[in-house]
Structure 1
Amino acid sequence: MRRVTTTPELSEAGDRLVAAFGDFITSLVDYLEKPTNPPTSADVTAASPAAAFPADASNKWLTALEAAKHARRNHITVLKALGSGELHGHQNRRGGRWQVKRNAVDAWIEHSDGAKACGCRDITDRRHRSDNSPNRRA
Structure 2
Amino acid sequence: MKRVGLLGGSFNPAHAGHRHISIEALRLLQLDEIWWLVSPQNPLKAAAGMAPLAARLASARKAARHPRIRPSAIEAQLGTRYAVDTVIALQHRHPKTRFIWLAGADILPELPRWHRWRALLHRLPIAVLARPRYMGAALR
Larger relative helix fraction: 1
Please identify the structure whose Cα radius of gyration is greater: 1
User: Does the pair score TM above 0.5?
Assistant: no
Report the TM range for the smaller structure's normalisation: under 0.3
**Normalization by structure 2: what TM-score?**
0.19
Higher relative contact order (CA 8 A, sep 6+): 2
Larger relative strand fraction: 2
